[in-house]
Structure 1
């Protein structure tokens, strides 16, 4: 999975998690609130993974550009 798809899925999971938490709070359902918190945390992780993949790719591209200029 690419960095962009990780970020998109992460954003979606964050939004769904926040919605579940809000609904759970509104109806007094602790289980739904907990599921929402976990899903939101999963989304944060997915976005962080996407950011890390992007950083690695950028660094590799810069390294390749540097090597190509020296050759």
Structure 2
């Protein structure tokens, strides 16, 4: 994937993960809450991956 795609996918994962975490907290569903936190971390990693690709392309 390209730099922009990675960043957008990362942002989407962070948002979806945040919603899952919130719903998990409201419904006392620990599994959903943990899944949301994991998806947010995945999103952060994808955004970093996109940033790194951008820096490499700038060289």
TM-score by length of 1: 0.82
Quick check: which has more Rg, 1 or 2?
1
In structure 2, stretches of 5+ residues that fail to align are none
Which structure has more relative contact order (CA 8 Å, sep 6+)? It is: 2
TM-score by length of 2: 0.99
In structure 1, stretches of 5+ residues that fail to align are 60-71
Q: Which runs of 4+ in 1 moved over 2 A?
A: none
Length, aligned pairs only: 59
